[in-house]
Amino acid sequence: MIVGLCTGRPADWWDTEDDGARLALALCRACPALQECPSGDPHPKGVVRAGNAYSDTGAVLPICPTCGYPQVGYKGGPVFDTCGRCKVSQIPMRFVGVEARKAYWRARKRAAETDGAMVS
């Protein structure tokens, strides 16, 4: 009997939304028991099995080319370039510097004073 590489590892890694899912995918793909793995779980949902990540509906999830994690929010159609983990929020440059933040709050305070509104 061949022992799988998942033996003795945290079970949470094989959940598609866990931070260890990328490592679980790598372990599964290199596992000597890869051929025996799917037979124990005929309808995988929300887990990593036999080197594939499955959604909650049982469909195979694409892997993000940037970070290597399963694209959990994938609903079908074209594959996204990056996943939710890789997307960086776009912060306007006017809020980056200290002086810019001070100017923003001064302008907001002046606008509130002219409108008669309270500034918190």
- Number of continuous H segments (helices) and E segments (strands) in the chain: 2, 2
Expressed in angstroms, the distance from the first to the final Cα of the chain is: 68
Domain region containing 21: 1-115
Distances, alpha carbon 94 to alpha carbons 87, 100, 106, 107, 108, in Å: 21, 6, 13, 13, 14
Residue 25 falls within a domain, yes or no? yes
pLDDT at 40 over 70: no
Residue 99 falls within a domain, yes or no? yes
What pLDDT score was predicted for residue 96? 62
Q: What is the pLDDT of residues 59-109, one digit of tens each?
A: 888 988 888 888 887 777 777 677 777 777 666 665 567 777 788 889 988
What pLDDT score was predicted for residue 71? 87
What pLDDT score was predicted for residue 24? 92
User: How many domains is the chain partitioned into structurally?
Assistant: 1
Percent of the chain beyond pLDDT 70?
A: 82
Taking the complete model, does pTM exceed 0.75, yes or no? no
Comparing CA positions, the residue from 60, 68, 6 lying closest to residue 31 is: 6
Residue 120 falls within a domain, yes or no? no
Residue 86 falls within a domain, yes or no? yes
pLDDT band for position 120 (cuts 50, 70, 90)? low
Distance CA(94)–CA(97), nearest Å, equals 7
Looking at residue 13, the DSSP 8-state letter turns out to be: G
Residue 108 falls within a domain, yes or no? yes
Helix (H) or strand (E) holding 49: strand 48-49
Q: Tokens for 86?
A: 């890789």
90 CB burial (10 A radius; 0-12, 13-18, 19+): exposed
